């Protein structure tokens, strides 16, 4: 009987350890490599009711810096921009990101970021007053 209890205890400990390891433990290194993204939003303060669409790529360096590029349509006005910025990511897989257009460093935008534990997907929401925008990205 004690062998049975010992085996069950060992199995339970193994399963609990596995669950603990499976729990998200993110760092900035969780995001590394190229991710495609899509996004949409409005900047009500500047252009009320004008929808914006963005598609592009982020390249995370695994240490808190990012580069990328996007194609955008802002109410039918199209553009292409190169991006650069920084990001943080905490152990709970949430963090922040800021980036700007290379051609206009004063265009910096600020985002809250939520990433899956394996770092393959993420969602963002813009945190600048007067803006409503979301983006999703995937490796």
Where in the chain does DSSP place strands (E)?
32-43, 51-61, 65-74, 77-89, 94-101, 104-115, 121-126, 131-138
CB contact at 8 A, 46 and 62: no
55: domain CATH number is 2.40.128.120
Q: Domain count for the chain, please give it.
A: 1
Is 125 contained in some domain?
Answer: yes
- What pLDDT does residue 46 have? 74
Is 33 contained in some domain?
Answer: yes
Quick one: DSSP state of residue 119? S
Question: What is the rounded average pLDDT of the residues 85-107?
Answer: 94
Question: What is the rounded average pLDDT of the residues 27-41?
Answer: 97
Is 52 contained in some domain?
Answer: yes
Domain containing 113 equals 28-138
Handedness of CA 103, 36, 122, 23 (dihedral sign): negative
Reading the block at residue 44, the tokens are 């009500």
- What pLDDT does residue 3 have? 52
Cα 8 to Cα 138: distance, rounded to the nearest angstrom: 40
């Amino acid at each position: 009987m004690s062998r049975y209890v010992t085996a069950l205890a060992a199995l339970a400990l193994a399963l609990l350890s596995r669950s603990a390891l499976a729990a998200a433990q993110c760092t900035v290194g969780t995001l590394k490599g190229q991710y495609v993204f899509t996004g949409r939003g409005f900047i009500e303060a500047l252009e009320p009711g004008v929808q914006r669409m963005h598609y592009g790529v982020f390249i995370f360096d695994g240490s808190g810096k990012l580069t990328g590029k996007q194609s955008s349509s802002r109410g039918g006005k199209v553009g292409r921009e190169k991006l650069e910025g920084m990001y943080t990511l905490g152990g709970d897989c949430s963090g922040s990101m800021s980036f700007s257009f290379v051609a206009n460093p004063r265009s910096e935008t600020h985002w809250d970021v939520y990433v899956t534990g394996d770092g393959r997907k993420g969602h963002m929401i813009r945190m600048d007053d007067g803006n409503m925008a979301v983006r999703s990205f995937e490796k």
